[in-house]
Structure 1
Amino acid sequence: MRIAMIGTGNVGRALAAGWSRAGHDLVFGSRRPDDEALREELAEAVGARVPVLDPASAATGAEVVVNATPGTESVALLGAVGARALTGKVLLDVAVGFREDGALSHPVESLGEELQRAFPGTAVVKTLCTVDAGLMCAPHALTGPSTLFLSGEDAVAKRTVGALLRDLGWPEESLLDLGGIATARGQEHYSLLFLGVAGALGTYGFGIRIVPPAAEG
């Protein structure tokens, strides 16, 4: 599958490396596509030389587009990519936005919802924003099973994203479909608790697990 990573930071690099190992065809979308130093950094991070194009060109040729940009800038950056390049694609949204004061940039409506409204012809699926970049491709590093969430309106798109998550090592039983894109609010708001837990544990390397009630009888 051809996957376009929009964003070349830690999250984009980690996910590109994971999906490259799984055999997918990766391309980065960057505002600095001709920066040779960036190209070398990305090749080292991924473990293979990956094409680096401008964001619109990267998205146009991909089946799945991954939003790994800063959440405060995602709408503008993807707006520059353009609805035409994103129409008919799955947009896997990982981003969460924080203001300078540490508050969420989307306190009422989630970024995932805003992106879905901005690009109605694109199937937005929110996931992966409840774990640190280092664990996105390494769920086996945890001491036990962890839960990963999916939010989105399109069932086919969520199945596509679920398959990509399994390619990163997340077993089917770890994936919990929360429902429509409005449920992305919960995923994004969890980031506040995530930071609190990280401070208490002294590490970002943890997951969460949804524990269902015991069966009656």
Structure 2
Amino acid sequence: MKIVILGTGEVCRVLAPALLSLGHEVVVGTRDPRKTMTGNPHYRLLAARHPELRLASFTNAVESADRSGLVVNAISGPACLDALVPLAAGLTGHVVMDVSSPYDWSRPDAVLDPVNTDSLGEAIQRALPGSFVVKTLNTLAAQVMPDPEVVAPDHTIFVSGDDEEAKLRVGDLLSAMGWRDVLDLGGSRTARATEMMLRMWIDASAALGTHLLGFKIVR
């Protein structure tokens, strides 16, 4: 499967190698490929380790996407809407796996925004009306996303989205990465709940002294 990852931050740097190891073709999208290669040493190291990765502008990466594959939104939450809106036409018909968080980590006093009455997942779906947005992997540290057994073999990962076939495609990928307990919460509105779990994740991480943790729904 061809997978386009938008964003070159930590999430990209853990997901891209994992997806390559599963046999997928991976294209990474960035605002300015030249600036990324000259000014982002972490991505440069990733590219050196995985020369099969192709780096392209956001527009060119989306143009290369396959509708039978996936586009992953791994752009920082506060910036992702501005980056995604110009790509809306090119993303029409594509499944967009959104792993972003509405939390500005650059601000010490940051809060979730939007929260409670809206979610970033819903805002992305509104911004991409022709796409099938599926929210997932946003309740975890980046390192745990492609490898749940870093924490435990059976903790829960959530999916939210309005299209059932899109959620099945994302669920298949999650299962291939080792997720055994994939819980479909329902429509895109349920992304409000998982996005608000970030506050619990932050406080639990501080209490436990580790960010390598997950949530388990016992039933």
TM-score (norm 1): 0.91
Alignment of 1:1-217 (within 5 A): 1-35=1-35, 36-37=37-38, 38=40, 40-44=44-48, 47-62=50-65, 63-80=69-86, 82-99=87-104, 100=107, 101-107=109-115, 108-171=117-180, 174-212=181-219
Q: Which residue of 2 aligns with 1:215?
A: none
Aligned length: 208
Task: Tell me if structure 2 keeps the 8 A contact 1:42–1:49.
Answer: no
The whole-number CA distance in structure 2 between the counterparts of 1:15 and 1:137 is 6
Taking the aligned partners of 2:159 and 2:195, their CA distance within structure 1 comes to 12
State the Cα distance separating 1:160 from its structure 2 match. 0.6
Pairwise CA distance, 1:79: 1.3
Shift of 1:163: 1.0
Q: Secondary structure at the match of 2:78?
A: coil
Distance 2:81 2:9 in 1: 17
Q: Is the 8 A contact 2:154 2:179 kept in 1?
A: no
Structure 2 gaps of 5+ residues are none
Q: CA-atom RMSD, angstroms?
A: 1.5
Residue aligned with 2:85, SS? helix
Identity, % of aligned positions: 39
Q: Which runs of 5+ in 1 are unaligned?
A: 213-217
Give distance in 2, aligned partners of 1:33 and 1:166. Answer: 31
Greater CA drift, 106-115 or 32-41? 32-41
Q: CA deviation at 1:25?
A: 0.5
